[in-house]
Chain A
Amino acid sequence: MMNSSLVMYDEDYRKLLAIIQRLAQDATAKGVFLVDTNGQMVAEAGEMQGVDTTSLASLTAGNIAASSGLAKIIGEEEFPTHFHQGQRDNLFITLVASRIILVVVFDERSSLGLVRLRVKKAGVQIAQVFEEIRKKAEREQASGGGSPFSEITDDDIDNLFSE
């Protein structure tokens, strides 16, 4: 279980960033965020400067986890899409490949229909990138190592905590 750490290299990140930047443009969205189901922010695009993305990621993951729990209670596997309508801004949240959460923030310049359409296409592309990441992780595990942490010493760790 613990070995299933998510390891993302620069090339994977660039691919994901390109996909969500295109999505932000095509869906006329204010912001697009990719969040790991454990609450880590993976990538963000759009015009939403200054948003507390760490909190956004943690709350999104909590939200998805809670609704997934609700789904199971009533006999559903998952609620893969969520829509929150606000006075000005709206949220469209999709679970991609059961592993990653795509969050789109949009206002009156866009519409739910357009966002839904564009998210569908982007979701497939994002799932492909995560499949590549998964395969890469498997290969690396098989070949043993590659992590920067194989080289760290006790001193490195202790230094982190020196006052």
Chain B
Amino acid sequence: MSFINYSAREINCKIVYYGPGLCGKTTNLQFIYNRTNPEVKGKMISLATETERTLFFDFLPLALGEIRGFKTRFHLYTVPGQVFYDASRKLILKGVDGVVFVADSQVERMEANLESMDNLRVNLGEQGYDLDQIPFVVQYNKRDVPNAAPVEELRKLLNPTSSSPDFEACATKGTGVFETLKSTAKMILKDLRSMSR
């Protein structure tokens, strides 16, 4: 749910990075954080366990520039991917404007990808959202690993009608990270426009 502030001439939107455990959601945010200018980003917050697994969420605020005199700010969140953190994932989806699904390309993570996608659909539904109606982008991450499944296979499972934009990525090197973010942000802004017409 976006927040349009006429007084500060700002629009704030929320993007959530979803996906199975260790798929690279936090790595996406870390890459964005490391590669953006200091005046564009705020502090990145990671609520993680001692072993650096996301416990509650990561948070990164970004200011992307102005549209018609309105500053556009995007708040990027990740969810904890591990199955047993479901209660936390539900909370983080509250008020979401767009979702990035980060898939793990490794063949042995196919089931985990599917399980997480189903979980996303259910949790969004509980908040009153329909995954097919909101801005949604799929990222096939870890394309550089030797046991990566072919993209066509991943697409067949995770984006079968190709109705959502999808990108190949290697978040540790940054490949596809900004493309994913830009695509999601654009979809959100277009969605806002269509809602206000």
Contact = CB atoms under 8 A, between A and B. Distances in A.
A1 B128 contact: yes
Interface string B78-95: 000000000110111011
Best-surrounded residue of A6, A54, A69, A147 (most CB of chain B within 10 A): A54
Interface in A13-71: 13-14, 36-40, 42, 52, 54-55, 58-59, 62, 65-66, 69
A161 B94 contact: no
A37 B93 CA distance: 12
A74 interface: no
A146 B195 CA distance: 11
Contacts of B197: 145, 150
B67 A9 contact: no
Nearest to B14: A38
Nearest to A161: B182
A65 to B, nearest CB: 4
Contact of B195 (A3, A38, A148): A3
Contacts of B11: 149
Contacts of B128: 1
A158 B182 CA distance: 9
Contact of A7 (B6, B64, B97): B6
B195 A2 contact: yes
A142 interface: no
A156 interface: yes
Contact of B72 (A36, A150, A160): A160
B93 to A, nearest CB: 10
Interface residues of chain B: helix, strand, loop or mixed (majority): mixed
Interface in B33-62: 42-43, 45, 47, 56-57, 59, 61
Contacts of A8: 3-7
Indicate the size class of the contact surface on chain A.
35 or more
B91 A160 contact: no
B189 interface: yes
B64 A160 contact: yes
A148 B5 CA distance: 11
Contacts of B75: 39-40, 58
Contact of B45 (A37, A58, A66): A58
A9 B47 CA distance: 33
14 contacts: A1-B129, A4-B1, A6-B3, A8-B5, A42-B3, A55-B43, A55-B61, A148-B70, A149-B189, A149-B195, A156-B68, A157-B189, A160-B67, A161-B182
Interface of A: 1-10, 12-14, 36-40, 42, 52, 54-55, 58-59, 62, 65-66, 69, 145-152, 154, 156-161
Q: Which 10 A-B pairs have the closest CB atoms?
A: A38-B95, A147-B196, A13-B7, A65-B91, A1-B128, A150-B196, A40-B3, A10-B7, A54-B42, A6-B3
